[in-house]
Amino acid sequence: MLFLGFPCREHNCTYIMYHGTSRENAESIKKNGFRRSEDGMFGPGVYVSRDLRKASRYPLDLELHERVVLKLKVQVGKVIKINRQNHPMKKTWHNYGYDTAWCPPNCGMVKSGLEEDCVWDPKNITVLEEHPADLTDHNCTYIMYHGTSRENAESIKKNGFRRSEDGMFGPGVYVSRDLRKASRYPLDLELHERVVLKLKVQVGKVIKIDHQNHPMKKKWHDYGYDTAWCPANCLMVMSGLEEVLLLLYRPTGLLQKQTIFSNVCYLFCV
């Protein structure tokens, strides 16, 4: 079973995770696979995260445009939660039969508060695709999410998206690469009443809007942009989570019972 956003303490599960690296290293990984680091917070292993924001920060010594993020399918095996600095198995967990060490979010282990995982065996990691760490790379395709009600989800799957009349960046369809962001919506519904649509999105030409007084905050499309991007932790939204606004065009047909737009393809309900 593939998990997208559930606690990593579950044993023998498969999760979507991310790894930030350089473009050169990404090519080597795709060709030859991962290699264990010699050391790290949890000792040797491959360091990954289910949080895209965490992976997008690495490597720390490279500029944002020099980084890429690998999207991965990870079989975690037997997992140990290490949530304090003086944990007795902080660097020896593999000697006790564990396959993955998990640092939960907001446990005080790392300054960012973002979760981190150390996987012992590189063979348990499969590379799915590569993305630039910066969404402003134009004409790329990304996996994104949209939170809605069950009723609206059925309508979207049948008839496709419609632009909202307004919002933080004006009219459009609001989505995010962060599953947690999408899972919060609609805000006026209880958790059990919400669903999340997983999407394949062609972003076209992208503009980054990272402050409230941006001159094109609500008129970016008039200047030829297809997507407005609010990066994580830029203080535009209280949650600090990434948000993306798309301008949609008319439907262009169906593919395997999935509604296709010129820039959005519905994949499935999470």
pLDDT, tens digit, 9 for 90 and up, residues 88-144: 999 999 999 999 999 999 999 988 888 999 999 999 999 998 887 776 666 678 888
Q: Do residues 145 and 263 both lie within one domain?
A: yes
Provide, rounded to the nearest whole percent, the portion of the chain with pLDDT above 90.
Answer: 47
In sign, the C-alpha dihedral spanning 259, 260, 261, 266 is positive
Strand order in 251-255's β-sheet? 141-149, 194-202, 264-269, 258-261, 251-255
* Model confidence at 1: pLDDT above 70: no
pLDDT tens digits, 161-212: 988 889 999 999 999 988 888 888 999 999 889 999 998 888 888 888 988 9
State the pairing for strand pair 194-202/227-230: unpaired
* Model confidence at 4: pLDDT above 90: no
How many distinct helices (H) and strands (E) make up the chain?
Answer: 4, 17
Q: What is the pLDDT of residue 188?
A: 92
Q: Do residues 264 and 148 both lie within one domain?
A: yes
Domain boundary among 78, 104, 132: 132
Residues 6+ apart with CB under 8 A from 264: 160, 161, 173, 199, 200, 201, 202, 246, 248
Distance CA(35)–CA(22), nearest Å, equals: 15
The token pair that represents 104 in the structure block = 């939960």
Q: What is the CATH number of the domain that holds 20?
A: 3.90.228.10
Q: Do residues 184 and 127 both lie within one domain?
A: no
Q: Do residues 157 and 75 both lie within one domain?
A: no
The token pair that represents 108 in the structure block = 């005080």
- Which one-letter amino acid corresponds to residue 193? E
Q: Do residues 66 and 94 both lie within one domain?
A: yes
Q: Do residues 38 and 125 both lie within one domain?
A: yes
Distance CA(74)–CA(124), nearest Å, equals: 6
Q: What is the pLDDT of residue 251?
A: 29
Q: What is the pLDDT of residue 269?
A: 52
The token pair that represents 53 in the structure block = 């924001």
Distance CA(114)–CA(107), nearest Å, equals: 9
pLDDT tens digits, 34-54: 999 999 999 999 999 998 888
Domain boundary among 104, 132, 160: 132
Q: What is the pLDDT of residue 57?
A: 86
Residue 172 half-sphere exposure toward CB, CA atoms < 13 A:
26
Distance CA(13)–CA(99), nearest Å, equals: 12
Domain boundary among 84, 102, 132: 132
Number of domains in the chain: 2
Residues 6+ apart with CB under 8 A from 256: none
Residue-number span of the structural domain to which 166 is assigned: 141-269
Q: What is the pLDDT of residue 267?
A: 55
Query: Any idea of the CA torsion for 64, 67, 73, 74, to the nearest 10 degrees?
Result: -90
* Model confidence at 262: pLDDT above 50: no
* Model confidence at 242: pLDDT above 60: yes
pLDDT tens digits, 51-100: 888 898 899 888 777 889 999 999 999 999 999 999 999 999 999 999 99
CA–centroid distance for 54 within its chain: 9
Q: Do residues 116 and 158 both lie within one domain?
A: no
User: 135-139, 230-234, 256-260: lowest mean pLDDT where?
Assistant: 256-260
CA–centroid distance for 242 within its chain: 9
State the pairing for strand pair 206-208/227-230: parallel
Q: Do residues 91 and 198 both lie within one domain?
A: no
Residues 6+ apart with CB under 8 A from 214: none
Q: Do residues 165 and 208 both lie within one domain?
A: yes
Q: Do residues 60 and 100 both lie within one domain?
A: yes
Give the number of other Cβ atoms within 10 Å of residue 248's Cβ.
Answer: 17
Q: Do residues 33 and 127 both lie within one domain?
A: yes
Q: Do residues 237 and 156 both lie within one domain?
A: yes
Q: What is the pLDDT of residue 249?
A: 37
Query: Any idea of the CA torsion for 13, 192, 167, 262, to the nearest 10 degrees?
Result: 50
Q: What is the pLDDT of residue 2?
A: 45
- In this prediction, residues 155-161 reach a mean pLDDT of 90
Name which residue leads in pLDDT, 241 or 186. 186
